[in-house]
Structure 1
């Protein structure tokens, strides 16, 4: 099969082994083995995964072209709104037996191999899950010249799988970092943002933080900030926040960001 779509290779694809991720987060909260218990696994699950933090990480690598989460949504239905609001496609998988795995890793690997063979615009593949079963597809992704990013829980991620990625992020570190950036180290997280000004400041803070993380330094080019903001919230319009342009909005955010002149573009960093 030939490549159906070509491009500059900057698109991102995300594949979520959702049960694997959720199980790790639940066991971090309630103790090792908590998810594996028969009475806990086969019932509606408490929503514990920070879906938005992971989607935002994906967006920091480029525009997300494919975003699929694999699982038995009979039990993970409470995540529905968070996933759909972040444009994640839900792939339903039914386990073949009462105690069997749902086969997410197999389906995920097949889809990843097919997608990189079909779409030339894919540059970065993100696999969210900690199983060693992903090692064979990791070799195919890298052989195809794509960048592989892995995300998993610290305790239940196979170390050989983590080492087979170009870059691996632990979920716990990612969420802790996200919380400290959005709220500040000494503030209590508040999920309700009431005013447009606060919404704009929060969105700008997250965008600059993600760009700085991917670049490895605090100062980022001003020209890269608006595209990142748009990836985080495609509905963003500075007029909705009381400003005629994005440049005017930036000038009003002196308490959030610092601006300086660069060689070819203005630079921005978080205060």
Structure 2
């Protein structure tokens, strides 16, 4: 059965790469139907020239906001107002925010508290509070850059926060021998944070676990896996 959740996409054009919109909308389509697509910025600025064709190709509504005061971005405020308006007047289940700006963190927190799913997209410069506030956050940096930066088990193993997250998810679902089915482990992680294994260069959660020698991965009947913390090996 197709997912019929309604999605609203809001784009901070000053803080988002136009070249990534195809990937963004392809990802969002997994969650339902996009009924609202809006991009905010001062469209008279040369810096936003790259958005012109993208707006037409993907039927994105451009919302014009002039920079009234130097150093202040009126588009940010307009975006927040429209999100809150949609939250209260439209039937949407998913809000998608495309930006790398930390200013949206309180907005995300508010949306999540209303029971909505918030999917964030931004570059790796996006501040941690904004990333963690989202239900799910995906980085938009070029795949080559991502692979070079994170597809190495040494830096992944040294990420204490990530290791604790993975171990806690296993412990919450393990049997008497320390094994936990990968599906419930992934669900447990998703309920805690905006984690997505693709941000570490892996298409599947099983690939991430397989790349870290601190865990054991074992295939089970069908296409499933179970995982165990190597420290609990008997």
Pair in the same fold by TM > 0.5? yes
Which 5+ residue runs of structure 1 have no aligned equivalent?
Answer: 1-7, 23-47, 181-212, 219-261, 263-271
Residue number in structure 2 paired with 1:12: 7
**Which residue of 63, 72, 81 corresponds with 2:53?**
81
Structure 1 distance, partners of 2:87, 2:34, is 14
CA distance, structure 1, for counterparts of residue 5 and residue 204 of structure 2: 19
How big is the shift at 1:217? Answer: 8.4
Q: Using the alignment, how far apart are the partners of 1:132 and 1:17 within structure 2?
A: 12
Measured after TM superposition, the shift of residue 127 of structure 1 is 0.5
Are the structure 2 counterparts of residues 9 and 101 from structure 1 closer, same or farther at C-alpha, using a change threshold of 3 Å?
Answer: farther
Separation of aligned partners in 2, 1:86 and 1:116: 23
Confirm or deny: 8 A CA contact 1:51 1:83 kept in the other structure. Answer: no
CA drift at 1:83 = 1.7
Structure 2: how far apart are the matches of 1:117 and 1:60?
A: 24
Residue among 41, 46, 62 paired with 1:90: 62
SS in 2 for 1:50: helix
Q: Specify every segment of 5 or more residues in structure 2 that has no aligned partner in the other structure, as ranges.
A: 148-197, 207-221, 223-234
2:143 to 173, 176, 179: 176
- 1:68 paired to 2:66: no
- TM-score after normalising by structure 1: 0.49
Which of 1 and 2 has higher RCO (CA within 8 Å, sep 6+)?
Answer: 1
RMSD across aligned C-alpha pairs, in angstroms? 2.7
Pick closer, same or farther for the CA change 1:9–1:111 going to 2, 3 Å: farther
Q: Once the 2 structures are TM-superposed, how far is the Cα of residue 61 of structure 1 from its aligned partner?
A: 1.7
* Equivalenced residues, count: 147
Q: Is the 8 A contact 1:73 1:92 kept in 2?
A: yes
2:97–2:120 contact (8 Å) kept in structure 1: yes
Deviations, residues 6-46 of structure 1 (Å, cap 9, x unaligned): xx971111110110124xxxxxxxxxxxxxxxxxxxxxxxx
Runs of 4+ in 1 over 3 A off after TM superposition: 215-218
Summarize the Cα distance change of 1:106–1:82 in structure 2 as closer, same or farther, 3 Å threshold: same
Inter-partner Cα distance in structure 1 for 2:101 and 2:20: 20
1:50 to partner: Cα distance: 2.5
Q: Answer yes or no: is 1:117 the counterpart of 2:88.
A: yes
The corresponding residue for 1:32 is none
Q: Which residue of 2 aligns with 1:265?
A: none
What residue in structure 2 maps to residue 51 of structure 1?
Answer: 21
1:184-263 matched pairs, under 5 angstroms: none
Q: CA separation in 1, counterparts of 2:86 and 2:204? A: 29
Partner of 2:63, secondary structure, is strand
Q: 1:15·1:128 contact (CA, 8 Å) conserved in 2? A: yes
